Amino acid sequence: MTVLLVAAGAAVGAPLRYLLDRAIQFRHGSAFPWGTLAVNVLGCLVLGLLTGLPTTPAVSALAGTGFCGALTTYSTFGYETLRLARDRAWLLAGLNAVGSLVAGLGAAYCGLLAGTALAR
């Protein structure tokens, strides 16, 4: 049953990642991977929120592992950072690496605070 919940969450998260990434990247039209940054930060926020809430294992599988796991993408983040470095866009590569880490951790923390406050 758990694997079906993970698959159901992923079936929503993966297409949403693609659509959000493309819409954001199209809007900015730059070499910087704004779309990937946005979906990763959003996923961190949602996962932080789920962590702060009292959830069941089923909700964790569906929303945490399935949805957030498919919404976020570490491999694309790594690829895009290396692509920027390969293209000698050192500043953009560094900003992407550091910015993704700081923004992702910040979003997860804010989500955790919000979830904890909602759970009270």
Cβ burial of 41 (10 Å; 0-12, 13-18, 19+) is buried
Contact predicate 111/48, CB 8 Å: yes
Average pLDDT over every residue of 74-96: 97
What local confidence, expressed as pLDDT, does residue 62 receive? 98
What local confidence, expressed as pLDDT, does residue 69 receive? 96
Asked if residue 51 belongs to a known ligand binding site, the reply is: no
Residue range 91-112, pLDDT digits in tens: 999 999 999 999 999 999 999 9
Residue range 16-53, pLDDT digits in tens: 999 999 999 999 989 999 999 999 999 999 999 999 99
Asked if residue 73 belongs to a known ligand binding site, the reply is: no
Cβ burial of 67 (10 Å; 0-12, 13-18, 19+) is buried
This prediction's pTM: 0.94
